[in-house]
Amino acid sequence: MKRRNFIKKTTLSGIALATIPCFTFAQNIISSEELMGKGNPKLFGTDYKLRKEAYLAFQNMKATALKEGVRIQIVSSYRSFNHQKHIWERKYKRYINQGLSAEKSIQKIIEYSTVPGTSRHHWGTDIDIIDANVHAPKHVLREENFHRDGSYIYLKKWMDAHANSFGFYLVYTADLNRKGFKYEPWHYSYKPLSQNYLKSYKKVNIQEMLQKEKLLGNDYFSTSFINKYRNENILDINPELL
């Protein structure tokens, strides 16, 4: 399929609206343990894992995009608490070894990565994506790959035009007034589930949870740090997802 034909907004939006599964949050009660990536949720997929509703919606979106020459590939989906902890500790040790203080190491990590127990990827609703139809750059999840002459510019344009119709919304937008995590043009969330999960997550006592975990850098998780992290990194997101 030629690239010049890939945006057919009216037709594809109609298909998307017709294929989004209709589920209610009442059918998907999520416990505090699962909200923090410590539960045992029922997930679907092989190379990636999502909750059923998000999985079915993604399959519909992927099939539709493929007809237009865009092969959406998930490179990250569900992550357990321990998976996120591994990412956290690896980055923390790297920055400490580079000579950064503990405080600066934490600030460096939370430019893009979450504190374990606070990741949206714990919910099985969020995905990081690339276009498998093009040659992958050395580092796939970089902002420049999704803009100008980047490898994933066609994926970005397709998602901008159609993702919302399938229930997927960009989480960390390019809004210059937004704080917290930096812009991530690859990170999408399945709103019909994640919006309600976020409402439940707001009730989690993050500071109490983190004190129990004894993560590397835990001594710097002060009340002021947690409040700022909660307001900026967790809640200062695409307002469509709030």
For residue 171, the 8-state DSSP code is: S
Q: Which pLDDT tens digit goes with each residue over 158-179? A: 999 999 999 999 999 999 999 9
- Report which residue type is found at 151: S
For residue 73, the 8-state DSSP code is: E
pLDDT of residue 26: 40
Q: For 113-140, what is the mean pLDDT?
A: 97
Residue 76 falls in which region: left (phi positive, over 0), alpha (psi -120 to 50) or beta: beta
Burial of 145 (0-12, 13-18, 19+ CB in 10 A): buried
- The model's confidence at residue 29, banded by pLDDT at 50, 70 and 90, is confident
- The model's confidence at residue 28, banded by pLDDT at 50, 70 and 90, is low
The answer to whether 102 and 222 have CB atoms below 8 angstroms apart is no
The answer to whether 49 and 43 have CB atoms below 8 angstroms apart is yes
d(CA 239, CA 195): 10
| pTM of the model as a whole | 0.89
Map out the domains of the chain with their CATH numbers.
1-79+119-203 (3.30.1380.10), 85-117+205-237 (no CATH)
pLDDT of 150 over the 80 cut? yes
pLDDT of residue 30: 87
Across the chain, mean pLDDT equals 91
DSSP H or E run through 51: none
d(CA 52, CA 85): 25
pLDDT of 194 over the 70 cut? yes
State the residue for tokens 């099985």: 124
